[in-house]
Amino acid sequence: MNFKYIVSAFAISLTLLTACNSKKSEEKKAADAKIRTKEDDKADSLLLVYNPAKGDKWIADFVDNLHKKYGFNGNMLVAKDGKILYEKAIGWADYLHRDSLKIDSEFELASITKTFTGTAIMQLVEAKKLSLNDNVKKFFPNFPYEGITVKLLLTHRSGMMNYVYFIDDIWRKERRNMKKGVTNQQVMNIIAERKPNPYVKPDNRFHYNNSNFMVLGAIIEKVTGQRYSQYMMEHIFKPAGMKHTHVYSTTEYEKVPVDVVGHDRSWRYSVVRNFLDGPVGDKGIYSTVHDLVLYDKYLKSNRFINKQSTDSSYVGRNKPVNGHFNYGYGWRMFDGEKMDKVVYHTGWWHGFRHIYVRDLDKNIVVIFLGNLTNGSLMHLDDLYKHLNMPIIRKGAYHGNGSLPGSDED
């Protein structure tokens, strides 16, 4: 046998073996990063330590005023550089029974859930279980719309109708069971059967609606063979030590095991969970202010997804509103040359109204979880100014992206 051939073959084998071992090493490193350690538990406990006597007095006064003047009812927290500046549970968990909120009360996160769904999708992309360019028909062949990809769902550019209104109309007209939750798969079947008209063609424009992330929730279940709740618990909640975070769907729970009740506009109307609380992915995750601090920490340390996937999630994929506001992969964002990079999400569902803000440059987290939808969270401008952050309210900016009365270009 030719000696050069033997050497060449050996070199190729060695290269392949090294590459294989390198890949296994990378995979092991990624797997190890998701395993919790005693050091994680200790660090997380220290992160959540709060001494009320040392709380930020200005924020305390601001929150008291927000409660008294604008009727904020809920839990809030502000943290900076890994330290809680101020936290408070203020008001009722359930007005009918006069139950007070506690700092570890679990709230239905509403659309803040979309950030978790986006993170899970990026995990599956990294695991090569799906691609951003995959067509929905790859997972659901009877899906009635052409040209809708995972990426278009993540960025709200699918053009789909909002399933919430469509399903609600069917249930009422056909007098179906209003209490029993419907699954994502059942909603997908109804869409395939009824073929509701889309709003616009795919990738035509940004159109925010719950259908996009309900479909992503269905894809997560289809690809993994797990319920959405199982996948989230194993791949996000447990790795981050989020012990008070769960997916509570009315398809799995006849009575959702939380004490916080949503109230619509006034205390006279508490919102009863129904069949629309069955689908998940667009909503359905329940959590606390402390667990959302941990979520922020583990997102920043790239423990869920790698830095490339994280950075990609925070890139605006639509035309900016007022020069700053955009939407990435499951995250709203405020982006500007002269101001901080901020990613956030709001939530509004069945008597709950929230905002979860993460200033990536200043390492600030602002969380307001409310269970009385009275518009109080439209009055946070002074808090953002106090923290030297951008004002996260689209109406605060002109069309060119500048603040009223400012010298910004």
Q: 157 pLDDT exceeds 80? A: yes
Average pLDDT over residues 339-343: 94
Indicate the pLDDT class of residue 14, thresholds 50, 70 and 90. low
Q: Which of 96-110, 121-135, 164-178 has the lowest mean pLDDT?
A: 164-178
pLDDT in tens, 176-230: 988 889 999 999 999 999 999 999 999 999 999 999 999 999 999 999 999 999 9
Cβ count within 10 A of residue 234: 13
Indicate the pLDDT class of residue 336, thresholds 50, 70 and 90. confident
Domains in the chain (CATH in brackets) are 35-391 (3.40.710.10)
According to the model, what pLDDT value does residue 407 have?
39
According to the model, what pLDDT value does residue 29 have?
44
Q: 70 pLDDT exceeds 50? A: yes
Q: 11 pLDDT exceeds 60? A: no
250 burial type by CB count under 10 A (0-12 exposed, 13-18 middle, 19+ buried) = buried
Which amino acid does the sequence have at 304? F
Indicate the pLDDT class of residue 374, thresholds 50, 70 and 90. very high
**Taking the CA of residue 136 as centre, how many other CA atoms within 13 Å lie in the half-sphere pointing to its CB?**
27
Cβ count within 10 A of residue 123: 21
Q: 373 pLDDT exceeds 60? A: yes
Q: 22 pLDDT exceeds 50? A: no
pTM, two decimals, is 0.91
Q: Which of 25-34, 202-211, 304-313 has the lowest mean pLDDT?
A: 25-34
According to the model, what pLDDT value does residue 270 have?
83
According to the model, what pLDDT value does residue 26 have?
44
pLDDT in tens, 105-131: 999 999 999 999 999 999 999 999 999
* Whole-angstrom distance, CA of residue 409 vs CA of residue 393: 19
pLDDT in tens, 285-302: 999 999 999 999 999 999
Contact (Cβ atoms closer than 8 angstroms) between residue 387 and residue 364: yes
Q: Which of 105-114, 135-144, 278-287, 394-403 has the lowest mean pLDDT?
A: 394-403
Give me the residue label for tokens 């999708």: 121
